[in-house]
Structure 1
Amino acid sequence: LYHIAQRKEVSVASVLQSIPLNIQFRRALVGPRWDTWLHLVRRLMEINLSDANDTISWKLMGSGVFTVKSMYTDLINTGD
């Protein structure tokens, strides 16, 4: 989708601030591209953007802090 977007420099916030979404593609979205677009839009609608500073949170720890042990444990448990 990024490759066929007309304006690649726009922010996610500027796209999401209007309905319909403020984005144009260089060609029509059909087939798998249309399905991918709908999936992305559904996921984006669940996100609330704010003016607060971004933070990084490690989802494998309740505290949100990265530890090597949590990463190692996850790798062992997922078999990767």
Structure 2
Amino acid sequence: LYNIAQRKEVSVATVLGSIPLNIQFRRSVIGERWDRWLHLVRRLMEVNLSDVPDTLQWKLSRSGVFSVKSMYTDLINTGT
């Protein structure tokens, strides 16, 4: 979908901030492309954008901070 988007520089926030969605494609969106588009729109509707800066959180530890121990424990437990 990105490859056939008319204006690639437009942000997701700009597109989602308009009703109907303000996006145009260079080609017709039919068949599998239409299915992909609908899937993407459904997923994007669940996203709530805010002006709060992004943060990283390490899911393998309670504190949310990376540690070698948490990584090692996960590797041992998952058998990866």
When normalised by structure 1's length, the TM-score is 0.79
- Find the aligned partners of 2:6 and 2:15 in 1 and give their Cα distance: 12
| 1:65 equivalenced with 2:46 (yes/no) | no
Question: Any unmatched runs of 5+ in structure 1?
Answer: none
Q: Residues 52 and 74 of structure 1: is their aligned pair in 2 closer, same or farther, counting only changes over 3 Å?
A: same
What are the superposed Cα offsets for residues 14-66 of structure 1, whole Å, 9 maximum, x if unpaired?
A: 01001111111001111111111111111111010011111122334443323
Q: Residues 38 and 61 of structure 1: is their aligned pair in 2 closer, same or farther, counting only changes over 3 Å?
A: farther
Q: Which residue of 2 aligns with 1:48?
A: 48
Percent of residue pairs bearing the same amino acid type: 77
Question: Rg larger in 1 or in 2?
Answer: 2
CA RMSD of aligned residues (A): 1.9
Q: What is the SS of the residue equivalent to 1:58?
A: coil
Q: Residues 52 and 62 of structure 1: is their aligned pair in 2 closer, same or farther, counting only changes over 3 Å?
A: same
Q: CA deviation at 1:72?
A: 4.7
Letter in 1 for 2:20: P
When normalised by structure 2's length, the TM-score is 0.79
